[in-house]
Structure 1
Amino acid sequence: MFKSTAIRRTSAAARRVDEGRIHIQLRELPRSALPADVRRLCIRDKLLGVTDVAIDYHRFLPTGRAYLTLTHPEQLYKNLQALDKSSVGSLPIHAVSAPPPQSNPGRVNRNGTQGKVFSGNGPHGAIHSRMKHVVIWGFPGKMSEQAVGNYLRDFRLDGVDGKSGAVKVELPTNTFSLYSRYLVRPTSTAEAHHVVRQLHMTYYEPEHWGRKYQLRARVVY
C-alpha cells in the first residue's frame, strides 16, 4: 500500500510540474537522426498535435536530443505514453516533458563591435532558415572568414544575417582549438546538400598541408 501511495504522489507532483507544457524533449537519439526520422516516429507512434520538430545542437552539431511542439497541453501525457519504450533506428529513446526550449548562447563573450556571434546552440542551432545553412569544420584554427569565403567561391552562397560569405562559429570563452568552424548559407536546400557532398571528408589544400586538415560538413536542420 505504501508503494502504491508513493507512486500516486509522485505522479501527482509530476503532473503539477508538467501543467500547461506543450513541449516534449526526446533524448538518446542517434546523432545522425534527421527531422524526417523524428517525424516518421511521430506518425508511427500516432502522436497527436505535433506542430514542430526541432533538432537540438551544440555549436551546430547534434546533441542527440530533439524537441516536439504540441498544439495543446492536453496532448502531452497521451503522447508521452505513446512514446514509452519507443525507438529510432532500433535504438531506444527517452521522452520527457519540457519547458519551452531556448537557444543557449553558451559562454561566448564578445564585445559589441563584432556584431552577432553564432554559437550554434539550441533548437535548430538558433537560426531561422531551415535546411539552408551548412556548418563546416576542420579548417586551420587561425583561418579568416575571408579566406574561407574565397575557398568556397565555386559554391553559390548568400550572406549570413547580413554578413557576407562564411561566418566563424566562435569558441566559448577561455577555450582553444587548432581547428576552426564556419557557418555558410547556400542559396537553396539543394545547394546546401551539394556543398556537403563536395566537402565532407575531403582535405583542405592537401598539396600544401597533406592530411592535416580534414573537413567535415553537415546541413543544419
Structure 2
Amino acid sequence: MFTTAIRRMSFLPRLVDEGRTHIQLRELPRSALLTDLRRLCIRNQLLGVTDVAIDYHRFLPTGRAYLTLAHTDNLHKNLQALDKASVGSLPIRAVSAPPPRFSHGRLYKTETQRKVFAGNGPHGGILSRMKHVVVWGLPGKISGEAVENYLRDFRLDNMDGKSAAVKVELPTNTFSLYSRYLVRPTSTAEAHRLVRQLHMSYYEPEQWGKRYQLRARVVY
C-alpha cells in the first residue's frame, strides 16, 4: 500500500503540468539579458523553445522569465535539463507555469485621462522588442512633451502623431517625487545609445544639481 501511494504521488506533477507549454525561470539576476537566456537554452539543449520573455514590473525586471514551448511533450525533458542550471554563475529555478498574462501594450487611463503604460508581465506588455527604453528618476510632475524635448538629441519615433515618451503608471494609492517614462527610439541601436549616454547622468544639473539622477534600461 505504501509503495502504491508513492507511485501515485509521482504522477501528481505530470497531472498538474498536463497541457502546459510554458516554463517559468526564477531567481534570475536582475541584470540578465535575452542573450543570456538564449545561451541558457542552447547550453542546456532545450527542445522546442519558441519564445523567451523577461518578466517585468513597471518595466523593471522581476528576476523571472518565461520560456514558451512548441509542444507540451517538451515540458518535462526541458525541466529535467534545467535542473541545477545557472545564469551568470548563479543557480536558478525552473518550474512549469500556466500561460502568463500579456497585455500587448495595453494603455491605461488615469483619473485625469492621461495615457500611461503599466509595464507589467512578459516583455513589459509591449510588442516591438528592444526598441523601447525605460527612464526613471525624472521629476515627478514632468510632462511627456518635456521629456521629449530633453531627449531632443536622440532620434525618437514620434511619427503618426504618437508620443515618443509615455508615462509609466504608479501603483494605486501611491505617490512618488520621481517619475518613470517609456521612451521609443527609432531603432535598437538608438535605444542602446540613449541608455549609454543617459544612465547614471543627472537631469538638468545646472538647475537641480544632483537632485535627479537618471537610470535607463532597454526593455527586452
TM norm. shorter chain > 0.5: yes
Q: Measure, in 2, the Cα distance between the counterparts of 1:177 and 1:47.
A: 42
> What are the ranges of 5 or more consecutive residues in structure 2 without an aligned counterpart?
none
List per-residue Cα deviations over 1:139-194 (Å, max 9, x = no partner): 01111111111101111011399631211001011001110000011000000000
Q: Equivalent residue for 2:41?
A: 42
Deviation at 1:111, TM superposition (A): 4.9
TM-score for both structures, normalised by structure 2? 0.92
Q: Counterpart amino acid of 1:10?
A: M
Deviates more, 1:4-13 or 1:95-104: 4-13
Q: Equivalent residue for 1:177?
A: 176
User: Which structure 2 residues correspond to residues 166-205 of structure 1 after superposition, within 5 A?
Assistant: 166-205=165-204
- The alignment yields a C-alpha RMSD, in angstroms, of 2.0
Q: Counterpart amino acid of 2:138?
A: F
Q: Measure, in 1, the Cα distance between the counterparts of 2:178 and 2:165.
A: 15
Q: Measure, in 2, the Cα distance between the counterparts of 1:6 and 1:212.
A: 63
After superposition, the Cα gap between the structure-2 partners of 1:150 and 1:20, relative to the gap in structure 1 and judged at 3 Å, is same
Q: Equivalent residue for 2:110?
A: 110
TM-score for both structures, normalised by structure 1? 0.92
Q: Counterpart amino acid of 2:102?
A: S
Secondary structure of the 1:186 match is: coil
After superposition, the Cα gap between the structure-2 partners of 1:61 and 1:86, relative to the gap in structure 1 and judged at 3 Å, is same
Calculate percent identity across the aligned residue pairs. Answer: 77
Deviates more, 1:4-13 or 1:146-155: 4-13
Q: Measure, in 2, the Cα distance between the counterparts of 1:161 and 1:93.
A: 43
Instruction: Give runs of ≥4 in structure 1 deviating > 2 Å.
Output: 4-11, 108-115, 159-163
Q: Equivalent residue for 1:54?
A: 53
Q: Counterpart amino acid of 1:190?
A: A
Secondary structure of the 2:9 match is: helix
Secondary structure of the 1:158 match is: coil
Q: Measure, in 1, the Cα distance between the counterparts of 2:6 and 2:179.
A: 50
Q: Measure, in 1, the Cα distance between the counterparts of 2:64 and 2:160.
A: 26
Q: Measure, in 2, the Cα distance between the counterparts of 1:161 and 1:189.
A: 19
Q: Give aligned pairs, total.
A: 217
- Indicate conservation of the 8 Å contact 2:164/2:185, yes or no: no
Q: Equivalent residue for 2:141?
A: 142
